[in-house]
């Protein structure tokens, strides 16, 4: 069994508002799994539940064979939220130091990881600057660095490349491939169709339902579409006919 994340018939509602209905999906080790869907489809709610912040109304979620939420498991997950959760009064370095010490990284090890992740996202020269002087893209990169600090086995990224220029986006994806090869399982959400092509496996989410899943190639072939967008339209249309 190499299934790292197992979501079984999960539903989530806030009051009478049903956000997710009967979602089941599996993410295998080393995989880059992309959750694709328009905003409001429920992507963030799913990843929050997998990260252990939210709990499902129905169904269950297992991460690394343990039911979530589980505090120990949270040390094995790196989470990058959709909004840049950074302390803007502090410098980039101070932000990273804070998150590193929360994960118990100290002294030499902390310094080492800090330098490594900062260079990974091209921020080494800006670490001393207070974060409120950062551009949107820099903040996203710092958030990513913060999620990578403790070398998590699972990386959950909620819309990681919003507002990042294409060159840097490419370098972030290259880094994700490298991490994946090294054994990290990555779950990423996106609403950008062309970015979805970069994932090993895709789950298409619309109105709180998983309308299709498979590799980008499979999804395109089985619907004889030229692009992921066409495939998404196809699956979305099928549901409407029901």
Which candidate, 41, 38, 42, 72, places its Cα nearest to that of 57?
42
Return the number of the residue (51 or 228) whose C-beta is nearest other proteins: 51
Return the number of the residue (94 or 115) whose C-beta is nearest other proteins: 94
> Please, where are the H alpha helices in the chain?
43-51, 71-74, 92-102, 107-120, 136-148, 166-181, 193-196, 216-222, 228-241
State in angstroms the smallest separation of the CB of 112 from other proteins.
18
Return the number of the residue (74 or 192) whose C-beta is nearest other proteins: 74
Residue with tokens 């080790």: 29
Instruction: Output Rg (C-alpha) for the chain, integer angstroms.
Output: 18
State in angstroms the smallest separation of the CB of 87 from other proteins.
6
State in angstroms the smallest separation of the CB of 33 from other proteins.
18
State in angstroms the smallest separation of the CB of 16 from other proteins.
18
CB burial of 187-216 (b: ≥16 within 10 Å; e: otherwise) equals bbbbbeeebbebbbbbbbbbbbbbbbbeeb
Q: Which residues pair with 204 in a beta bridge?
A: 36, 212
Return the number of the residue (105 or 120) whose C-beta is nearest other proteins: 105
Tokens of 119: 């260079």
* Length of the chain (residues): 242
State in angstroms the smallest separation of the CB of 196 from other proteins.
24
Return the number of the residue (33 or 234) whose C-beta is nearest other proteins: 33
- Residues lying near other proteins in the complex (CB under 8 A) are found at 48, 51-55, 69-72, 74-75, 77, 79, 81-90, 94, 98-99, 101-104, 130
State in angstroms the smallest separation of the CB of 1 from other proteins.
25
The answer to whether residues 35 and 53 touch, using CB atoms and an 8 Å cutoff, is: no
Return the number of the residue (112 or 229) whose C-beta is nearest other proteins: 112
Alpha-carbon gap, residue 230 to 87, rounded angstroms: 40
């Amino acid at each position: 069994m190499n299934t790292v994340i197992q979501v079984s018939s999960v539903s989530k509602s806030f009051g009478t508002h049903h956000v997710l209905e009967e979602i089941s999906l599996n993410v295998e080790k080393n995989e880059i799994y992309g959750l694709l869907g328009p905003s409001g489809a429920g992507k963030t709610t799913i990843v929050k539940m997998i990260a252990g912040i939210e709990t499902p109304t129905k169904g269950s979620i297992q991460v690394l064979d343990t039911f979530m939420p589980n505090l120990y498991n949270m040390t094995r997950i790196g989470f990058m939220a959709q909004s840049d959760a950074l302390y803007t009064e502090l410098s980039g370095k101070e932000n990273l130091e804070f998150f590193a010490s929360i994960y118990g990284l100290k002294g030499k090890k902390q310094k080492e990881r800090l330098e490594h992740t900062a260079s990974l996202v091209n921020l080494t020269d800006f670490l001393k600057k207070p974060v409120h002087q950062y551009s949107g893209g820099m903040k996203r990169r710092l958030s990513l660095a913060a999620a990578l600090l403790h070398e998590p086995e699972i990386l959950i990224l909620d819309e990681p490349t919003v507002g990042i220029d294409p060159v840097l986006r490419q370098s972030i994806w290259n880094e994700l491939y490298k991490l994946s090869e090294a054994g990290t399982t990555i779950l990423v959400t996106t609403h950008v169709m062309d970015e979805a092509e970069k994932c090993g496996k895709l789950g298409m989410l619309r109105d709180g339902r998983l309308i299709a899943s498979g590799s980008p190639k499979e999804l395109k072939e089985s619907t004889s579409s030229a692009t992921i967008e066409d495939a998404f339209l196809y699956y979305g249309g099928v549901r409407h006919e029901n």
